[in-house]
A and B are shown apart, each in its own frame.
Chain A
Amino acid sequence: MSYLGRRVGFYLVTIWAAITINFLIPRLMPGNPVQLLIARLQGQGTLSTRAIHALSVAFGLETHQSLVAQYWHYWVQLFHGNLGLSVTYYPSTVVNVIATALPWTLALVGISTVIAFVIGTGIGILAAWRRGSWLEAALPISTFFTAIPYFWLGLVAVAVFGVVLGWFPLSGGLGQGMAVAFNGTFISSALYHAALPAVTIVVTSMAGWMIGMRNMMVTTLGEDYVLVAQAKGLSERRVMMTYAARNAILPSIASFALSLSFVVSGAILVEIVFSYPGIGYVLFQAVQNEDYPLMEAIFLIITLAVLVANFVADLAYVFLDPRTRQEA
């Protein structure tokens, strides 16, 4: 089986696992969402048994059905794109809520992740090439940045650049009363609002790429072919980029997959700090309102997005590493 085929198989299994986990959590955890919701609604008057039953059906938690039957029903609903109604944004469907929020997240997290990867990898290459320079001395400082909670740096950024200096808006994704339209004012307003959250994500996630790349690069620089390249009298730049970095970057791309879930988790929190109208903020609203259908759907959609990004990284890997193109 080819490399890519194996990866696709793996992703399919992972999607199945994520969906199954998603199905099992509300059914196996001690807290029953229907019970919680009933408890919440009971403050506003008692519920009839029929209303309770209706809620159970709406959540797909009918206890008289067997687990297998519920599981089958769950898949059928999923393939119909039916993820239920949102409690928070009632009467919107979960799918609609996510569809409005997703583009914001994709733009913010996608672009800042790519920027962080490029800058971090670039600095990593240089830090390994010029060992002992100030770049290498900066490594412990970058360690500090990897350890910072994303959302806390976001809080500090809001306090400093938003409240004290007043350079950037405190929250939101657009100016007051603006609608999504593709014209100059929209784009500039969107960029203006995205700047601070994007910088927060870049600063905190960059260090991880940097340290990883530097370590791979240092290992690669010890290889014989780098020595040969130098012995041939090739230019520094050529040895660094074409011989060493080109090989050292492969594991970095392979680990892109694994690091991405960390980055996405952090980005969710950054959105919450900045009240950015993306998936993370919607997830926060869902948590605040005990909106279980929305929470679960967001977990699925984030997992799916991470898997797609991983698959793109795999395609890049196949393109870059000829060994994966050979029949194994």
Chain B
Amino acid sequence: MTTTVNDLSPRSELVGELEEPSPVARSARRRLSPKIVVGLAILGFFVLMAIVGPYVAPYNPSALGAHPLAGPSSAHPLGTTQTGQDVLSQLLVGARSSMVVGFVAGAIATALSIIVGISAGYLGGFAEEGLSMLSNIFLVIPALPLLIVLTAFLPRANAIVIAVVIAATGWAWGARVLRAQTLALRRQDYVEAARSVGERAWRIILFEILPNEAAIVASSFLFTVLFAILTDASLAFLGLGNITAWSWGSMLYWAENNEALTVGAFWWFVPPGLCIALLGTGLALANFGIDEFINPRLRAAGLSRRGLQIASRSHGLTPVMRRPTGSGGPSGTGSIRLAEDAPGVAAPLSFDEVSGASPKSQWAPAGGSRAPEGGGR
């Protein structure tokens, strides 16, 4: 906590040093933001469900039962469908297909976005123009109508094919963000140094640039997984893709087609949608946690009530802080900080810490300038 302000130095000075992470960096990493913890916990729960789901399902999800459209009971905790199939079993078995599509699409799209984004940012010139134009085009073209047209020509496509098609339309966002970050890193001293030493381009990209973009890559991966799971469910809901295999989307398709709505069989269509929404929330929370890693100003967590009062009181005051002479860095990291420095606020991490570089103490606060940390008490 005490070195909060030390992390505000401009990136150029930080990233050059790839020594052992300082104790501060390590402890900061250990105290993960609650958003990441909750998000990863939800994610872990559903990964577990996808792995063991088919083995613990009480019934065969396709087996017809004697009690059609029965509400939740001890025999069928989530009720039954119109043909007496067990909804809980369908939910448990369907988790695997939905998760596989999400993660396979996420992995392929992330790989694509790394290739396109980093080469666009690093190569520059004509290649950059072309590649960034390509990703912008894919960003603007509405993905779902395109996917509908694509999958309509692939009748009975299995989960992997659907994942590949979703990845083909979902890589552009990550590529755009990575390109921007690569452009910023490309002119860093340590990259210039590596280049002047004669490192090959692929080595510079792989070992100098990519590690410093780990957080962005992780963030775009999670975003794409969320996009893929939602899209997969939407396509299945439309009756595209393989609706004969159990997935959360195909459950919704059958529920909708068998008038689950009009007969009020909420136990049939609520669970799969809720699972998708919960899993999506987990992914998005983890993503926001990473965003806060990248941009410490976004943090809200850790603001205690007391800390907030102090923060709001000090809001109108001029903080007693001195800016370093050399820190004319990007407005994001070098400017005077206000309420965020109130006590109880988690230490801001510079982006570089995520990838293990230790922040160098760039500017020490002047005598009274510990005020943002302790002054309010």
Contacts and interface: CB of A to CB of B under 8 A. Distances in A.
Interface in B119-176: 133, 136-137, 139-146, 148-150, 152-155, 173
B327 interface: no
B338 A221 contact: yes
Contacts, number: 197
B303 A156 contact: no
Contacts of B325: none
A164 interface: yes
B264 interface: yes
B152 A151 contact: no
Given A136-B300, A224-B335, A303 B145 contact: yes
A262 B230 CA distance: 11
Given A140-B285, A159-B261, A132 B141 contact: no
B166 to A, nearest CB: 12
B367 interface: no
B269 interface: yes
B137 A14 contact: yes
Given A224-B336, A287-B148, A144 B281 contact: yes
Contacts of B237: 149, 151, 269, 272
Given A25-B149, A147-B284, A269-B234, A302 B276 contact: no
Interface in A264-309: 264-266, 268-269, 272-273, 283-284, 287-288, 290, 292, 295-296, 298-299, 302-303, 306-307
Contacts of A265: 142-145, 234
A155 interface: yes
Contacts of A219: 295, 297-298, 332
Contacts of A132: 300, 303, 305, 308, 311
B104 interface: no
A1 interface: no
A268 B240 CA distance: 15
Contacts of B303: 131-132
Given A156-B270, A163-B262, A302-B142, A13 B133 contact: yes
Contacts of A258: 139-140, 173
A257 B140 contact: yes
A60 interface: no
Interface residues of B, number: 69
B59 to A, nearest CB: 24
A278 to B, nearest CB: 13
B343 to A, nearest CB: 13
Contact of B261 (A13, A153, A163): A163
DSSP majority for the A interface?
Answer: helix
A29 B154 contact: yes
Interface string B246-274: 00000010011000011010100110110
A116 to B, nearest CB: 17
Interface string A135-154: 01001100110111101110
Nearest to A11: B140
Given A144-B281, A147-B280, A148-B277, A222 B239 contact: no
Contacts of B152: 31, 287, 290, 292, 295
Interface string B25-39: 000000000010000
B101 interface: no
B181 to A, nearest CB: 16
Contacts of A26: 153
Contacts of B145: 264-265, 268, 283, 298-299, 302-303
B300 A131 contact: yes
B273 A156 contact: yes
Contacts of A269: 144, 234, 237-238
B347 interface: no
A119 interface: no
Interface of B is mostly: helix
Interface stretch (A15-23, A47-55, A190-198, A320-328): A15-23
A261 B149 contact: no
Which of A18, A151, A257 is most buried by chain B, counting CB atoms within 10 A of its CB? Answer: A151
B230 A149 contact: yes
Contacts of B255: 155
A158 interface: yes
Nearest to B323: A224
B149 A159 contact: no
B240 A222 contact: no
A167 interface: no
B194 to A, nearest CB: 31
Given A287-B148, A287-B152, A227 B141 contact: no
Nearest to B282: A147
A76 to B, nearest CB: 22
A152 B316 CA distance: 45
B226 interface: yes
Contacts of A307: 140
A321 B264 CA distance: 51
B337 A222 contact: yes
Interface string B272-292: 110011111101110010010
A307 B136 CA distance: 12
A220 to B, nearest CB: 10
A303 B169 CA distance: 14
A185 to B, nearest CB: 27
Interface of A: 10, 13-14, 17-18, 21-22, 25-26, 29-31, 33, 36, 131-132, 136, 139-140, 143-144, 146-149, 151-153, 155-156, 158-159, 162-164, 170, 211, 215, 218-219, 221-224, 227, 230-231, 257-258, 260-262, 264-266, 268-269, 272-273, 283-284, 287-288, 290, 292, 295-296, 298-299, 302-303, 306-307, 310
10 contacts: A25-B149, A29-B150, A132-B305, A147-B226, A159-B266, A221-B338, A258-B139, A258-B140, A268-B145, A295-B149
Interface of B: 35, 133, 136-137, 139-146, 148-150, 152-155, 173, 226, 230, 233-234, 237-240, 252, 255-256, 261-262, 264, 266, 269-270, 272-273, 276-281, 283-285, 288, 291, 295, 297-298, 300, 303, 305, 308, 311, 315-316, 318, 331-332, 335-340
Given A22-B149, A152-B276, A260-B142, 4 more contacts: A29-B154, A30-B154, A152-B277, A265-B145
Q: Which 5 A-B pairs have the closest CB atoms?
A: A147-B280, A265-B144, A152-B273, A29-B153, A261-B142
